[in-house]
Structure 1
Amino acid sequence: MTDMSDEMPSSSSLRSKWVWFVVLGALLIVFGAIAAANVVLATVVSVYYVGLLMLVGGIVYLAHAFQVREWEQLLFWALSGVLYVLAGVFAFMNPILASAALTLLLAMALLVAGVFRVFVGWRMRPSKGWGWVLASGLITALAGFVIVLGWPVNSLWILGLFLACDLLLQGWSMLAFGLAIRR
């Protein structure tokens, strides 16, 4: 078993790269601001990104299908590949409808994750901090519920908003990290 300190870069090697973290953070903040300025365009870009991943994944599945020798497995892998390719093509052909489907999936995932977290938080009740887990679950479930209430209209901007928030948060964290290790 290896020691975790062997895998982590030393603080001096990180300190010498602080500028890269600051530049990365600044770029992510700029991209996040661009996405926040036009959340509809950011939604379409994120749908194209997901569509591209599905298209490439489908092609890989199809290539893999023909490496399998048994007919039953070949059929399964080929069908999986075709479905992925079709979903990827669908995302490129109609990104607005695809964003509606992805937004609904996101809302359902938030609802389910929130309910599970509430359950876990409630079960942790005798332990210290159980309320934080419960509150986190309630907020997550509420976010999913709010998205469902506004669906399908909010699907034009919700994915772009999530992308913008993620880029901005990652940018600020990289910038802060870079400045912190500089000292």
Structure 2
Amino acid sequence: MTSLFDGMPESSLRSKWVWFVGLGVLLLICGLIALGNLLIATVASVFYVGMLMLAGGVIYLIHAFQVRGWDHVLFWALSGVLYLLAGICAFINPIFTSAALTLFLAVALLVAGIFRLWVGMRMRPLKGWGWITASGFITALAGFVIALGWPVNSLWILGLFLAADLIVQGWTMIGFGFGIRS
């Protein structure tokens, strides 16, 4: 099995440990700031998704006129317009968009959790099946709890996920940096 760092000498990576720690500290600070104001973090994450949707819409529209046949052009152009409209909606009404994204998140977590529960139960004779089942239960429970609190929790749930991710990534980079130092 090859690694991403196979061609890189270990000393080269080790000499950059301080950059990993610095990045980790920066991510940790950003996560704590996001945790301090979940509404602003939610709006920031909606704007980020909106920018991605706008970029995707432009790319779809450019692609639409590169394909042959009106049926294909129509499909790609319609996809591009829908992406553009969703991106514009994110900037015009971020609260509505956060409600839609939160509902989508709840449904996705419920489906993923139920699927993991099913997979875990089918793996029952194997060692470790309980971990998969527990993971599925927790994921489905998170989706259910988010769905129960919707739409009110739409004002802070995306910001909480963003803050948690930034904090976990910050600690991960700090741990990795100190780990490669020694």
With over 3 angstroms needed to count, the CA separation of the structure-2 counterparts of 1:6 and 1:36, relative to structure 1, is: closer
Cα deviation, 1:25-82, whole Å, max 9, x if unaligned, reads 0000000000000000000000000000000100110011111121110000000000
Q: Which residues of structure 1 form unaligned runs of 5+?
A: none
With over 3 angstroms needed to count, the CA separation of the structure-2 counterparts of 1:27 and 1:6, relative to structure 1, is: closer
With over 3 angstroms needed to count, the CA separation of the structure-2 counterparts of 1:118 and 1:93, relative to structure 1, is: same
Q: Determine whether 1:90 maps to 2:89.
A: yes
Q: Which residues of structure 2 form unaligned runs of 5+?
A: none
* 2:126 paired residue number: 127
Q: Determine whether 1:22 maps to 2:21.
A: yes
Between the aligned partners of 1:71 and 1:89, the Cα distance in structure 2 is 26
* 1:4 paired residue number: 2
| TM-score (normalizing by structure 1) | 0.96
Percent of counterpart pairs with the same letter? 69
Cα RMSD, aligned residues only: 1.1
Q: CA deviation at 1:10?
A: 3.1
Cα deviation, 1:81-135, whole Å, max 9, x if unaligned, reads 0000000000100000000000000000000000000000000000001011000
* 2:54 paired residue number: 55
Between the aligned partners of 2:3 and 2:127, the Cα distance in structure 1 is 30
Between the aligned partners of 1:124 and 1:69, the Cα distance in structure 2 is 47
Between the aligned partners of 2:148 and 2:66, the Cα distance in structure 1 is 46
| TM-score (normalizing by structure 2) | 0.97
* 1:149 paired residue number: 148
Between the aligned partners of 1:73 and 1:13, the Cα distance in structure 2 is 49
Q: CA deviation at 1:11?
A: 2.1
Between the aligned partners of 1:7 and 1:151, the Cα distance in structure 2 is 43
Q: Determine whether 1:160 maps to 2:159.
A: yes
